[in-house]
Structure 1
Amino acid sequence: MEFSALETELDSRGADAFVHVGDRFDDDLGYLTRFSGPDRDYAFVYDGEAVLCAPRLFEEQAEQEFSGTVVSAAEQEATAAGERAAELVSGTVLVPQGIPHDAAVWLERAGCELESTDVVSRMRVRKTEAEIDRLRTVQEAAQVGMARAETVLAAAGAEGDSLTWDGGALTTERLRREANAAMAREGVDPAGNTVIGAGETCADLHFTGDLPIERGETVLLDLSPRGPEGYYGDLSRTFVVDSEGGWERRAYIAAERAQDAAFEALSEGAGTVASTVHEETAAEVGAYGFRPDGSPGFIHSTGHGVGMSLHEAPSLRADDELEAGTVLTIEPGVYDPDEGGVRIEDLVVVREEGFENLTDYPRSLVPRKR
């Protein structure tokens, strides 16, 4: 792990150290330490040297996973991680806004002056090539899950308007299980993030219910698995079995063209203003007769950062310039609670010149066997 950005932040702020305390569910700590457990709090300290205050009995694991110095967080089980960190620092200490209250109290009791910083969030925006490789691998696994789900849809039969598959009704839950199983076989965790809607529920961006799938309605699949090293993939496609070419076809074409407009806006690479990408995308949705900024129409941002969190900086609604190495979703959509929803989502990397698409999955409204 490279800590030059922390060094620069300390120098520019005239601070003596950086401290953060949390557990394995804290993505900032995971990013800084690559330490994967346990649920108990541990501390990261940087004062020119990176130190992990490992939970008691987990020192050996920490030494295997962390690239810096490992010390025991507690001589006794009752010693708090924040208390142990306070023993290692003095002077002005930079902390993230979300540091636990008790850790802040221990630092202040030790005589430290605390100042807030968002340096870790800024560090996480620009991915290294090693991080991009991890993201690419997870995205490939997401594509395997999508291929399985699309193949099931392509093979579905029908009883009246309802789709059938493998001896029973095809439902959103059965399709979710097939996609999740395929991703799990690739070594990634679906992480409870597989969202599959059908018909009107496609307009619900987080639908996880169990409904029968019918002919002629949109089926929106959003797969966001997490890899063993903590990085996410993010992939969405929309299909219709036996489309009649009405609302769903027009919405799909709008989403395709909108994604192409986003790619065109990103073609200049680093330095592109994030909000410009969203504005070009939304304008294309509007050109096809859908609202570019609300329901029914395009109801969310064109994209967001992806890394060790599924949603992280930057947002494509922001007025910031995109940096090389930023990994983003490009996911235009059209939604109508009375009709359904369409979304097409790829994962891309901003490069110094242009961008790289980490997604290699076809766009097709009609499901095919993959």
Structure 2
Amino acid sequence: MSARVGVTLSGRYRLQRLIATGGMGQVWEGVDSRLGRQVAIKVLKAEYSTDPEFVERFRAEARTVAMLNHPGIASVYDYGETELDDSGRTAYLVMELVNGEPLNSVIKRTGRLSLRHSLDMLEQTGRALQVAHSAGLVHRDVKPGNIMITPTGQVKLTDFGIAKAVDAAPVTQTGMVMGTAQYIAPEQALGHDATAASDVYSLGVVGYESVSGRRPFTGDGALTVAMKHIKEAPPPLPADLPPNVRELIEIALAKDAIHRYRSGGPFADAVAAVRAGRRPPRPNQAPTIGRAAPAAIPSSTQARAAIEPARPAPATPRPRPASGNHRPAPPARRTFSPGQRALLWAAGVLGALAIVIAILIVLNAQDRQDQKNQQQSTVTNTITETTKTPGAPTGQSASLPKLSGPAIS
């Protein structure tokens, strides 16, 4: 038997309705017959289920993601493997069934989201990503199809860990997923390791699309779009957007990861600042999670103090005649000759330069990766596109208009 309506996996999870089909398999709405609750079940394709290395990594990721506890992350309930007569052994993942609508469906139906809804969605998604980033996980496939919006406006991020497991498996099939081309970070497109800042870039693309109603880069194929992410600046955002919103998206879409927010938390903080009417803070250029932070750079006041020469003391006043209330004059300050002052000035400048050079060496050793001279040919085999079946029937929403019923990425 194959995965179809009525099939029960491992004697417990009964498939009821096909929700979506993607590059890795199918997502079904089903019921947990043991607990009597509705769930979403991702059934992997045969080529993944029969790859021992992939299955092992997928299993480990499922365990890790199951430990993430946050209202903005769809929960993982169970993982299993079962025999299907005509498909062999099949792996599956049991997840929370989110009562909501994928963001891509919302954008398709409404076009450009309101600025209030867009910023709220971006901040919520950034907070959810930070939970994973703090645990050392990188999503690697942040896109509107993996961002669910409930009728109350709650964001639920889905498919955590899936893309990471695929990336770790040997690339032996066409269609190996490492990020959807329209939302992929430049370093991912070049074949480099994805970091938390890569998720921030992808979320920046989602933000661009939400506030403008269009994606920053389009093209005839995945490779063309990926090359634009690597080389081209995104088209200007609509002029009616506030400057601080445009600045926020521009920072998130920086080609070099060091110029973006390093993880979901700082990005969410920047969104909160914009929502409060302020400019987004500049990224502090600290390295991504898991690496030591650089030494603090001295403030401008400290730097001036280090290089300013000693000021000459005022000339000793001419003695006055003694009087009844005469007080002894204070001792004269030590003065320096012009040659001594020049030496002090030079020593201060050299000392400040030594501090700056040492800081630059530390920053360069920790944060700079030469990602700009990679050959375009490394992009091949890193990009795929995902197809999905139509979403669930449309319902009503208190936050975004006409949100659908139960769905999952």
Q: TM-score range by the shorter chain?
A: under 0.3
**TM-score (normalizing by structure 2):** 0.22
Larger gyration radius, structure 1 or structure 2: 2
Structure with the larger helix share: 2
